[in-house]
Structures are given as structure tokens and as C-alpha cells.
Amino acid sequence: MPILPIDSGRYGSEEIKKIFEEQSRLDYQLEFEASVAESQSKIDIIPAAAAKEIAQKARSGKITVQRVKKLEAVSEHDTAAMVEAVSELCSNKAKPWIHYGLTSYDVVDTTISMQLRDSLSIIEPKIGKIAFMLADKATKYRNIPAVGRTHGQHASIISFGLKFAVWASDMANHISRIREMKRRVLVCKTLGVVGTGSLMGKKALKAQVLVAKKLNLYPIEAATQVVSRERHAEFILCFALIASTLDKIAVEIRNLQRTEIAEVAEPFKEGQMGSSAVPVKRNPIKSERISSLARILKSMTGVSLENITLWHERDLSNSANERFTIPMAVILLDEMLNSMTKVLAGLKIDVKRIVENLEHTKGQIYAEFVLNALVKKGMPRLHAYRAIQRTAFGAEKKNAHFLDALLSDKDISSKLKKEELKVIFNPKSHLAASGQIIDNVTRMVKQVRRT
């Protein structure tokens, strides 16, 4: 009976969860054993006939999780049980050469790398798709002036498309991070008990190179009994960064969907219920789910950093928690990416409301540009600042429009004529370099998806 939501099918795609299923994990281990035997035979570490038999039996599909668990119940060692299951199928001539020169964590760590390799082949394109969707929206809404908010307050004019361009560049950078970390994270280790390759001697490094090539991994430069956990911590940290960006986007969508702002809205399908009590509610549940799952994923960074510090050449204090953190980080990020893709695909953007919100402060959003115009007319900056502040606060008390208040102020109107102020109060006059920025980001996204 499923206990965790991941097990029940609530979170994560089937393709990503299959990578971490028990039988899949066992199959990765068996492929590793087969590849090691074949590579060792190529450089005369073990007999070719034995290697061929070991590889055939390991890949036969006859070794099941159920059998390995039965053997593990006796040995209380999961890797030893897997090796024993292979041995049961092999002849006496091949048996001595199974798992030759290896230690259990050669199997475990290389299996993790294989799982991460295949996970990234699923995750990376999803990040690329989101980057492209964001860039597309940036281009579509590039000429729509909107309220730019800082500290939750109206600050100045922003291109609505620029919001999406910032996020698109973040996602493109995450793809670059993933590609850069692969050579450090997707590593193969076959160097035995304390990392010397002792039983394979001077041929140990050559064997490791051959195995890594077979498995599309990178040979580890140096290790103890285990791969240094800095590598796994980097992977979790990278995924936590991606989760944080998705959370950032989700939070902005949630804020912009507030009834008082109402500039965007998550897709809401026919028959969907926003609230069990209030029939009219359309809650941003997918964005909230993203934020919720991000908190779990980000919390795993602390565990991963703690795992770096092990006793001497290794201890087991990392082992149990990695059975949670690594699969969960991948599956939860996959769920977050899938949810964000759905949100962006159906995101409703109310341009009319965006334009209306520009006037929420009755023109005070143009204060930055009035200040700049006065400075250019020769008014000292602090003098201009105080004059605008006085006029704006006075207009707010009277519920008057900022433009009318400026025209009524002798100090300001002596410097800026009505025609000049009207130009300033045109929101499309203040998009500045937004279009160029969006074009640059679009090219960046296209480039990173091509390479």
C-alpha cells in the first residue's frame, strides 16, 4: 500500500519514476556488472569467456528484485545479494570473476550516476521547453506597458514581456548549469575498497575508462571507497536553484492573480472546483503546488551538504538518506516542471486590466520620469524630488490626478509645460531598452536549445 504521494502516483511523471523503481535500479546495477566484466576482459584482467557469460547472465532479465531481496534477507547486504543472484546463474568457471576488483559502492555510486544521466535526459528538455515558452510570451507582450512593483508598491513602468524575459534567461542559465555539472556529477567508479584499484593494479584506470565509455559516464579522477559527496550536493543544489526559479515564477503568478490585481490567471478547466465552499473561486493551485514542493526540494540541500563529511575512506551516514533525497529531488522537480508547463500553456493574461492598473495611483507611477525631466531642465535633484513628493502626497489626499496636481504647482509647471508632461504620461514612452533585452534573451534561449 502506497505511503508517500510519490508512490501513489500523485507527483512525477511515469517516465521519471521508472528510473528509480526497484527493478530499474537493479537493472542499472546489472548493466554495470556486465560492462565491468566486458571491459576487464578487453585488457586481460579476467578471462574473455567468463566476461561473456557474466554479461549475458546479468542482462538476461532473469534476475528479479524478489530474488535479490530473498538473498538479502540472509546476507543483510543488498549489493552482495545482487552479486549472489548473478552467481547463481553462472558456471563455476565464471563465478570467481563476478564483481572482480569492485566494492559495493562502485556499484551504488555508478548506478546513481546512471540514474541521474537518464533523469537529466528527461529534465533538461523540459527546462528548455519552459524557457522557450517564456521567451515566446516575452516577445508577445513586449510592447505592453505594465506596473513595475518594488516592495509590493507601484514603482515605475515595465514591459509586461520583460517579466517573462527575465525568467526565460534564468531557465536558459539552468540548462547551462546542468551541462557544466555533468562531467563532475555523472561519474563512474571501479576503483575498489579504498579507491586504489588494488586488485586490478596498473590496469585499474584503463578499466575504469572503458566502463565509463560504455555507460556514457565520466571516469572519476580520484575517490575513496565512495565518490566524494560534493558531486551529489552540487546536483541537489542545482535542482534546488531550478526549483527556486520555478517558485519565483509561481509566486509572481499567484500575486498577479490576486483579485485586487487580476492581471493573470491560471488555466481553469470546465468542471474544476476552486473551493469546496465558495463556488466562484479560481485558486492558483498549480502555482501553489510548485511553491509547496520547492520547499521540500530546497530543504534537501542541507542533508546533501552534511553528507560530504564522512569518516576516513567512508562510512554509511550518507547511505540511507540518499535513498530519499536523490530520487525525491528528481521526481519533485519533474512534477514542478510539468505543472509550470501546464500553467504557462494556459495562462490567461488580461491586457486591459494591465493597462487599467497603470492608472491605479492616478498617474503617480510616472514620478521617476517627471523627476528626470526636471533635472534635465536644470532643477537640483533634491529640490525636484521634494517638489514632486509634496505634490504627489497632496494629490493623494485630495484624490486628484497627479498630472493635474503637477500643472497646478507653480514650481514644477514653470519648468515643464503641459505638452511636455503629457508626453511623460504616455506609458509606451518608457519601455526603454525592454525590446532589445527581450530580443537578446530570445536569441540566448534559441542558442542554448540548439547546443
Task: Give the catalytic positions in this structure.
Answer: 151, 275
**How open is the CA angle 160-163-167, to the nearest 5 degrees?**
155
Residues 189/105, Cβ–Cβ less than 8 Å: yes
Say how far apart CA 391 and CA 374 lie, in whole Å. 14
Residues 421/370, Cβ–Cβ less than 8 Å: yes
Give Cβ neighbours of residue 221 (< 8 Å, ≥ 6 apart): none
Matching residue, cell 586481460: 44
Cα 217 to Cα 117, 187, 220: the distances in Å are 8, 5, 9
Say how far apart CA 223 and CA 194 lie, in whole Å. 8
Cα 385 to Cα 196, 295, 360, 405, 412: the distances in Å are 70, 42, 21, 15, 11
Q: Which runs of consecutive H residues, i.e. helices, occur in 189-318?
A: 204-214, 230-256, 285-306
Residue 108 burial by Cβ neighbours in a 10 Å radius (0-12, 13-18, 19+): buried
What cell does 168 get?
526565460
Say how far apart CA 290 and CA 246 lie, in whole Å. 7
Q: Helix, strand, coil proportions of the chain in percent (round to 5)?
A: 65, 5, 30
Nearest alpha carbon to residue 366 among 357, 354, 358: 358
